[in-house]
Structure 1
Amino acid sequence: RNFFAKRTKELKPAVQSAPGWKLFGKVPPRENLPKDSKIIQQEYEARTGRMYKPPPSSARRKNIEFEPLSTTALILEDRPANLPAKSVEEALRHRQEYDEMVAEAKKREIKEAHKRKKIMRERFKQEENIASAMVIWVNEILPNWEGMRATRRVRELWWQGLPPSVRGKVWSLAVGNELNITPELYEIFLSRAKERWKSFSETSSENDIEGVSVADREASLELIKLDISRTFPSLYIFQKGGPYHDLLHSVLGAYTCYRPDVGYVQGMSFIAAVLILNLEEADAFIAFANLLNKPCQLAFFRVDHSMMLKYFAAFEVFFEENLPKLFLHFKSYSLTPDIYLIDWIFTLYSKSLPLDLACRVWDVFCRDGEEFLFRTGLGILRLYEDILLQMDFIHIAQFLTKLPEDITSEKLFSCIAAIQMQNSNKKWAQVFASLMKDNKEGDKNHSPALKS
């Protein structure tokens, strides 16, 4: 019973040495004090007959500008008391190894510091350019939009990227409002969407309304809910509970009421989200509806196979013209443009590229129209041409479906600039028009009336 009590009395107070440690609990303190390193050195010299000459003071560790972290510096420490001290040669070798490690660490630190400074300089320069460009856009271009939008100076400034503060305004003006939608009209369709959401379960027995079945409309509503949660998930602003969730839901819901013939198609949420980030709610809806009414977007979102094939054919004309090696490589695997272009066009690259880079693509798309969407696709292929030439069908499809995240605007836009949208002196619009003409003539030749 008194076992622990007796042990407690027998233990000497630990005044001279601190207790050691083991895996479970403390070990008893050592009664013998650890010897000083000088005493150990003297004993070793007396036993071996060797004399240790310390390295010159200039080589000793003092006032070192850079001290490596972790265990790097342990190489300079003396050995434990129960081992022989280092010899002169070993100490000098360790000193040299340590100095080399410090030198390498310094080089890395200096290199990283230079890299950080370069990034900061580029960032400051970019911010200065944006600030000066903003003044030009606000004071000169926007007040005289119709007269200046097509000038060479504005087009060059446009290519460099729009300042975020005027981006939404410029997009609205460039996209236009051919549909003559007003904020009041948006409110009407939004209220209809809200009524539909409320009576969602009650309308299952209703007949077709406006040529669209209830089942199709319900499918659109369900798809909207599902797609919103998958829209820019890394931003956490469009997901449920986020500040823009209800706003995005409203714009998409109102559009399904405004265009029941189109309804909601997967990918629309990304386009609407980008517009919401740059415009007020009603303005975002107006731009969204007009943007989706453009021939290219309407063909893709209505899944007009005939028109989509014409766009793919036009794309391949310029693909072969600009990147003949890669074009033949894709042909050898029967890799058609629809495998990678559909996702790019459906979301206007907002899902495939980093958001800031996608906005720059949108800038020039608003300036040049649908042609720039396909030119951007060719720019991406040019940027990764060397990598893609080494891949097979599966790896190419996977790579183009999920592009590298480290893609930069400078590299991509330099590749886009190198793409020539001209084939046999024909521009994109002329090539596409000739394909449409050939298609119409083919339809006439194969019509039942001509056969009879």
Structure 2
Amino acid sequence: MVAEAKKREIKDAHRRKKIMKERFKQEENIASAMVIWVNEILPNWETMRTTRRVRELWWQGLPPSVRGRVWSLAVGNELNITPELYEIFLSRAKERWKSFGETGAENDAEDAGVSVADREASLELIKLDISRTFPSLYIFQKGGPYHDLLHSVLGAYTCYRPDVGYVQGMSFIAAVLILNLEEADAFIAFANLLNKPCQLAFFRVDHSMMLKYFAAFEVFFEENLPKLFHHFKSYNLTPDIYLIDWIFTLYSKSLPLDLACRVWDVFCRDGEEFLFRTGLGILRLYEDILLQMDFIHIAQFLTKLPEDITSEKLFSCITSIQMQNSNKKWAQVFASLMKDSKEGDKNSPALKS
């Protein structure tokens, strides 16, 4: 009995030593990568960003100290938003909060075709959603150091894009950006990110576009994981059941925060394709478990993924996912689906009558 205990103690000591060694190696890698990013890549961003060396370094994960800056550069600012413009929309948001607080109604009757009731609902939803954003961190809830900041960014966005308003899940995206960027920069990245075709389709709940994204996803699902694909089909389990939450929050709600940030790193490099590749990576990681489950248990499992999911295991699975079907890449498959849809619209009996 004493010998067994001693054996366990030695085994635990070896395990701890191995973990410490791996952690030390990881810290060394981050430090050396940071030097390369700061001294070589960022000063020569436009010429170096697409080089093989940078792409490989990017895949390994961005050092936290440069993450925000790289995300900003990669997302870009097609909307030409300035910090001054952010301040203007933040002021409007504050006026509306004050107005709602005092009278329960807003002075302006209508703005961009959005009713007062809709805007009020948006502001109320922001308040509710912030309290549910990364609750275990205790930094975004009322009284927390980032509560007001998150409130400001989301409020300003609803004034900037009243046509989109606030949609549940946006708070997670804004929160991740706030953790990595200064306030105005976080807003600029947030607005530009939500203006990308995939995000706009989901946050505007454009059913037609969402169905095309799901259809493209299923093409690569069947290609990479045929057994699991047919298992899902046998239960009529469609991608919307699990993908919507993943895409809405860019995995920041579904995965541990550090792992979600690593997914964001490559998403900023590869665009929307990587969001769907990550989804397939998750399905591959848990394929054996999912094949044993029925509809209800699969839906429950994918809605709340295991908390012990590691970066190494997930990225190993993502690496094995091939985003090519009959020599067509993601963008080509998606473009074909868009074209087929337009052809279908042209041949619609409604248009011929």
Cα deviation, 1:77-115, whole Å, max 9, x if unaligned, reads xxxxxxxxxxxxxxxxxxxxxxxx110101111111111
Counterparts of 1:174 and 1:250 in 2: how far apart (Å)? 24
CA offsets per residue over residues 375-426 of structure 1, 9 Å max, x none? 0000000000000000000000000000000000000000000000000000
1:198 shift after superposition: 0.3
Give the whole-Å Cα distance in 1 for the aligned partners of 2:350 and 2:57: 54
Q: C-alpha separation between the residues in 2 aligned to 1:223 and 1:279? A: 24
Q: Please, what TM-score do these two structures have when normalized by structure 2? A: 0.98
Relative to structure 1, is the Cα distance of residues 120 and 441 closer, same or farther in structure 2, using a 3 angstrom cutoff? same
- Asked whether the equivalents of residues 212 and 337 of structure 2 are also in contact (C-alpha less than 8 Å), the reply is yes
Q: Deviations over 1:110-142 (max 9, x none)?
A: 111111011000000000000000000000000
Whether the 8 Å CA contact 2:222–2:229 is kept in 1: the answer is yes
Decide whether the 8 Å contact of 2:99 with 2:106 is kept in 1.
Answer: no
How many residues get paired? 351
State the alpha-carbon separation in 1 of the partners of residues 44 and 87 from structure 2: 30
- CA shift, 1:448, in A, is 5.5
Q: Shift of residue 206 of structure 1?
A: 5.8
Flag the 1:205–1:191 CA change in 2: closer, same or farther, 3 A: closer
Check the 8 A contact 2:122/2:166 in 1, yes or no.
yes
Shift in Å at residue 204 of structure 1?
5.6
User: Counterparts of 1:358 and 1:436 in 2: how far apart (Å)?
Assistant: 30
Deviations 1:201-251 (A, max 9, x none): 566666875510000001001100000000000000000000000000000
Distance in 1 (alpha carbons) for counterparts of 2:350 and 2:225: 42
- Answer yes or no: is the 8 Å Cα contact 1:314–1:428 preserved in 2: yes
Q: Contact between 1:379 and 1:415, CA under 8 Å: does it hold in 2? A: yes
Larger RCO (CA within 8 A; separation ≥ 6): 2
CA contact (8 A) 1:422 1:428 kept: yes
Kept after mapping to 2: 8 A contact 1:238/1:244: yes
User: 8 Å contact 1:203–1:214 — kept in the other structure?
Assistant: no
Matches within 5 A, 1:142-161: 142-161=42-61
Task: Determine the C-alpha separation between the residues in 1 that align with 2:203 and 2:33.
Answer: 35
1-structure distance, mates of 2:114, 2:18: 57
In 2 relative to 1, CA 178–203 (structure 1 residues): closer, same or farther, beyond 3 Å? farther
Deviations 1:41-64 (A, max 9, x none): xxxxxxxxxxxxxxxxxxxxxxxx
| CA positional deviation for 1:152 | 0.2
1:348/1:256 CA distance change after superposition, 3 Å: same
Looking at structure 1, the residues matched to 261 and 140 of structure 2 have their Cα atoms a distance apart, in angstroms, of: 18
Instruction: Render the CA deviation track for 1:254-295: whole Å, top value 9, x for unaligned.
Output: 000000000000000000000000000000000000000000
How far did residue 313 of structure 1 move? 0.1
Distance 1:249 1:448, change over 3 A: same
Give the direction of change, closer, same or farther, for the CA distance of 1:209–1:312 in structure 2 (3 Å limit). farther
Distance 1:451 1:222 in 2: 46
Equivalent-residue separation in structure 2 for 1:160 and 1:379 (angstroms):
16
What is the rounded CA distance, in whole Å, between the counterparts of 2:152 and 2:30 in structure 1? 32
Contact between 1:326 and 1:389, CA under 8 Å: does it hold in 2?
yes
Structure 1 residues 302 and 450, CA gap change in structure 2 (3 angstroms): closer
Distance 1:239 1:424, change over 3 A: same
- Pair 257,275 (structure 1): closer, same or farther in 2 beyond 3 Å: same
CA deviations 1:335-367 (Å, max 9, x no partner) are 000000000000000000000000000000000
Q: What's the offset of the Cα at 1:450?
A: 4.4
Structure 1 match to 2:350: 449
**Which has the higher mean CA deviation after the structures are superposed, 370-379 or 203-212?**
203-212
Query: Does the CA-based 8 Å contact 1:204-1:215 persist in structure 2?
Result: no
Distance 1:440 1:188, change over 3 A: same
Q: Secondary structure at the match of 1:390?
A: coil
Contact in 1 for aligned 2:96/2:106 (Cα 8 Å): no
Query: How does the TM-score come out when normalised to structure 1?
Result: 0.76
- Is the Cα–Cα contact under 8 Å of residues 252 and 261 in structure 2 kept in the other structure? yes
Which 4+ stretches in 1 moved above 2 angstroms? 201-210, 447-452
Change (3 A) 1:195 1:373: same
Q: Percent identity?
A: 96
Identify if the C-alpha distance between structure 1 residues 392 and 173 changes in structure 2 by more than 3 Å, giving closer, same or farther.
Answer: same
Q: Offset at 1:451?
A: 2.2
Matched, 1:411 2:313: yes
Secondary structure of the residue aligned to 2:86 is helix
Distance 2:280 2:24 in 1: 31
Q: 1:207/1:197 Cα in 2 relative to 1: closer, same or farther (>3 Å)?
A: closer
Counterparts of 1:257 and 1:222, CA distance in 2:
14
Rg larger for = 1
Alignment partner for residue 439 of structure 1, among 334, 341, 346? 341
Q: Which residue of 1 aligns with 2:7?
A: 107
Structure 1 unaligned regions, length at least 5:
1-100
Structure 1 residue matching 2:273: 3-state secondary structure: helix
CA distance in 2, matches of 1:449, 1:390: 45
Task: Choose from 110, 123, 128 the match for 2:23.
Answer: 123
Q: Contact between 2:177 and 2:189, CA under 8 Å: does it hold in 1?
A: yes
Structure with the largest fraction of helix: 2
Alpha-carbon contact 1:207-1:214 (below 8 Å) kept: no
Kept after mapping to 2: 8 A contact 1:207/1:213: no
Q: Please give the alpha-carbon distance, in whole angstroms, between the structure 2 residues aligned to 1:315 and 1:451.
A: 32
* Secondary structure, aligned partner of 1:231: coil
